[in-house]
Amino acid sequence: MKQCLLLIALIMSFLTIQAQDSIPVTSPRIVTKIKTGESVKLNDITVTFIKVTEDSRCPIGVQCITSGKATALIQIETPKGSQEEKLYFGVDHITPQTTKQIITSQDRHIIAYDLEPYPVADSSLTAVKYSLLVLIE
């Protein structure tokens, strides 16, 4: 009887170890927040979040005909010069599911991820302090 219980215990521990090896693991994506006027640097490239020029995204708590979009202006500085670029956020543009690569430097990337905060019904847009969310991979 003891041998039977020992055999069952060994089989169960073997099956447990086998099950742990089959779980796929993905590494987490770390998001960096850049507030209006702030920059992030990657090697010899600097990306500065200048401002939000438009935010017509449909607020939470409201029914809208269209989803709208938000437009953010960034400045990209490289050793070759500086340029401004517009980033568009919303259902048909940049979202956490559909990111956009901004720049690449020495096999590392800065990727536009999202724009916060998302508008909410009955809140003042004049006092909003925006943050551009980027991934550095």
Write out pLDDT tens, residues 77-86. 988 899 999 9
| DSSP one-letter string for 41-55 | EETTEEEEEEEEEEE
Distance CA 76, CA 50 (A): 10
- Give the mean pLDDT of the chain: 83
pLDDT tens track for 104-130: 877 788 889 999 998 888 766 556 789
Looking at residue 16, its pLDDT comes to: 60
In angstroms, rounded to a whole number, what is the distance separating the alpha carbons of residues 7 and 131? 59
Q: Which amino acid is at 53?
A: T
pLDDT at res. 78:
87
Higher pLDDT, 12 or 96: 96
Instruction: Round to whole Å and give the CA distance between 132 and 121.
Output: 21
Query: Of 18, 10, 46, 42, which Cα lies nearest the Cα of 109?
Result: 42
Pairing, β 45-55 against β 39-42: antiparallel
Confidence at residue 2, expressed as pLDDT on a 0 to 100 scale: 65
Q: What is the pLDDT of residue 54?
A: 92
Q: Is 108:91 a contact under the CB 8 Å cutoff?
A: no
d(CA 115, CA 130) in angstroms, rounded, equals 7
CA pair distance 101, 4, nearest whole angstrom:
59
